Structure 1
Amino acid sequence: MRQELLSLPKTLADDVARNLVMVAKLLDEEPEKAYGYSRVALRLASRVPAVREAAGFAAYAVEKYGEALAEFRAARRMTGSVELWPVMADCERGLGRPEKALAMAGEPEVQKLDRAGQVEMRLVAAGARRDMGQTDAAVVTLQSPELASNSVQPWTARLRYAYADALLEVGREDEAREWFAKALEADQGGTTNASDRLAELDGVEFTDALDEDEDENDDDETVAEAPAEPVRQDSSDGDTPADAPREGRPEQG
């Protein structure tokens, strides 16, 4: 990235670099802000491949899949690299075109990917199979030497987790539990919620003791402040009942 920015005047390069640093810093925790910085960098230096790639990942993080795909394609045209192929295929899934993603999994570009890229492509292909309702095929797609290996690699936890999730969807609960446990074993960075899925399968529910204490304190305050006689309110006065849903509040998908 630094090498690519050397093609720009120094002041401009510095400005672009600052925005790219903020994209990287905010992408996981505050993707909307990261997206904003990426748009600034894009306006300043749209002909720099690293800028197009960063803009693609920022758009991907906020689920603007069409925009992300356009940026990834631009970056690929500029560099000739195939490393973005899996995420491009996943954008096709995000756009509701799993058949296209699956077709990309069979293209010659996949053979040019490194091992991590090929595992990522396998994950995308399995996701496309599930999108299409082909759950048994998704299970088969994830079966690979990388899945069977006892070696822990950066992709191991996610691959095992995806396999466990696919097994659970086809009703193979005992095997799913085994693979969730294997995913947890490999998940040193906390990239999955395998522990929660295991607890769910085991019927274990976790309760936050601090939340319970706060609820009890709230109840105590409510009792202490309650009036001696209930206050009756005429429903004809036009006020909204306390249990009425608030309009304009979107449901979380």
Structure 2
Amino acid sequence: MVARLIDEDPEGAYGYSRVALRLASRVAAVREAAGFAAYANQKYSEALAEFRAARRMTGSVELWPLMADCERGLGRPEKALDMAGAPEVQKLDKAGQVEMRLVAAGARRDMGQLDAAIVTLQSSELASHSVQPWTARLRYAYADALLAADRSGEAREWFAKAVEADRDGSTDASDRLAELDGVEFVDALVKDEADDAADEDDKD
């Protein structure tokens, strides 16, 4: 239920996770699910505690980037950067290492280090032409950092590349690109209602 609800109803997912914790707190999968539910509700201290518990039970490092992002959420970007340089990162798979890079870049931005954030995201994964599950988010983060550094021309190029890789709409790269191009979207339903109201006024 946590997995089913977490995207559309994070509060509901969190409620189920609390029930699961009461029933089976010694099960690593339950602690991990509770961590994800807390994380989705921005309860970062709670999420961090659950992720740590799951890691102790399994010995796995796959939650390391999420734990580091919780540190960011708690206002401790320096701690997140320390974790980005820890030996555990070398044990992550490629997806985990990319996620850790995203967290580290976010921590740099939290500290006002925009140029360092941009450099952090520059990698072989970013330069690759092959599309992986993480490609759209990586390109999006890079474009967003460039835009924050007032490098709008480069940012537009990378938002466009993010759109190319974003096959499941996991980012709003297309909206950001349109915004940079000065394109305005009009809600068709709202426009129709406005037109109908104008017609009624004309009749009056």
TM-score by length of 1: 0.78
Tell me which residue corresponds to 1:88. Answer: 67
2:50 partner letter: E
Alpha-carbon distance between aligned partners in 1 of 2:190 and 2:105, rounded to the nearest angstrom? 39
2:139 partner letter: R
Matched, 1:194 2:173: yes
2:58 pairs, out of 73, 76, 79, with 79
Unaligned runs of 5+ in 2: none
* Map 1:59-208 → 2, pairs under 5 A: 59-208=38-187
1:141 partner letter: T
Identity %: 81
1:102 partner letter: L
1:51 partner letter: V
Unaligned runs of 5+ in 1: 1-21, 226-253
2:146 partner letter: L
Note the aligned Cα RMSD (angstroms).
Answer: 1.4
Relative contact order, higher structure (CA 8 A, sep 6+): 2
SS at match of 2:49: helix
Tell me which residue corresponds to 2:9. Answer: 30
Larger Rg: 1
TM-score by length of 2: 0.97
Q: Decide whether aligned partners of structure 1 residues 218 and 30 sit closer, same or farther in structure 2, where only a CA change above 3 A counts.
A: farther
* TM-superposition CA deviations, 1:190-230 (whole Å, max 9, x none): 000010001100011000122111133345667889xxxxx
* Map 1:5-44 → 2, pairs under 5 A: 22-44=1-23
Q: Which has the higher helix share?
A: 2
Alpha-carbon distance between aligned partners in 1 of 2:203 and 2:102, rounded to the nearest angstrom? 56
Alpha-carbon distance between aligned partners in 2 of 1:82 and 1:140, rounded to the nearest angstrom? 25
**Runs (4+) of structure 1 moved beyond 2 Å?**
215-225
SS at match of 1:150: coil
Tell me which residue corresponds to 1:14. Answer: none
SS at match of 1:152: coil
Alpha-carbon distance between aligned partners in 2 of 1:23 and 1:94, rounded to the nearest angstrom? 21
Deviation at 1:144, TM superposition (A): 0.4
2:114 partner letter: T
Alpha-carbon distance between aligned partners in 1 of 2:48 and 2:161, rounded to the nearest angstrom? 33
